[in-house]
Amino acid sequence: MQNSGKQMELICVQKNGKCGYINQKKQVIIPLKYDCAWSFQENGLAGVKNSGKWGCVNQKGEEVIPCIYDRMLNFAKNGLAVAVVNGRFGYIDENNNQIVACEHKNESGAKAEMMSKMNGKSVTITMF
């Protein structure tokens, strides 16, 4: 999922324990319904947490990655992120396709499989 054209700048806000996003005119663009929310990344997605699970929204407020992950890491420049389900690590892309299934006991196991799929190229990812 690549950025197309200029994106509006949304600001993450919190009120009464819920997070959402407003524009520069302080208009609510994405309702304050999330337990936790992070700033938008270069790919136009922001990590959000709902009922203890992580996913991602786009700037239209669409949950392009449903809140089903116990933990997620930021997307790397290669468009992949580490995702954790039931304590098992894997990699997903920006369209929620599991590139490496969430079945590894640790991140290094998932990374080793990913590196083999990428012909040994290194992967650097930071956590939400």
Each residue's pLDDT tens digit, 57-93: 999 999 999 999 999 988 988 888 999 999 999 999 9
Q: Please check whether residues 76 and 126 belong to one and the same domain.
A: yes
The pLDDT value recorded for residue 109 is 63
The pLDDT value recorded for residue 8 is 66
Please tell me the total count of domains within the chain: 2
Domain residues for the domain of 49 are 1-69
**3-class DSSP state of 114:** helix
Average pLDDT over residues 22-28: 95
Decide if 112 contacts 105 (C-beta within 8 A): no
The pLDDT value recorded for residue 2 is 37
The pLDDT value recorded for residue 127 is 41
Q: Please check whether residues 54 and 102 belong to one and the same domain.
A: no
CA distance 119 to 68: 29
**DSSP assignment, residue 73?**
B
**3-class DSSP state of 107:** helix
The pLDDT value recorded for residue 4 is 41
pLDDT at 6 over 90: no
For residue 17, which amino acid is it? G
The pLDDT value recorded for residue 78 is 84
Q: Please check whether residues 96 and 41 belong to one and the same domain.
A: no
Q: Please check whether residues 49 and 82 belong to one and the same domain.
A: no
The pLDDT value recorded for residue 9 is 87
Average pLDDT over residues 99-120: 70
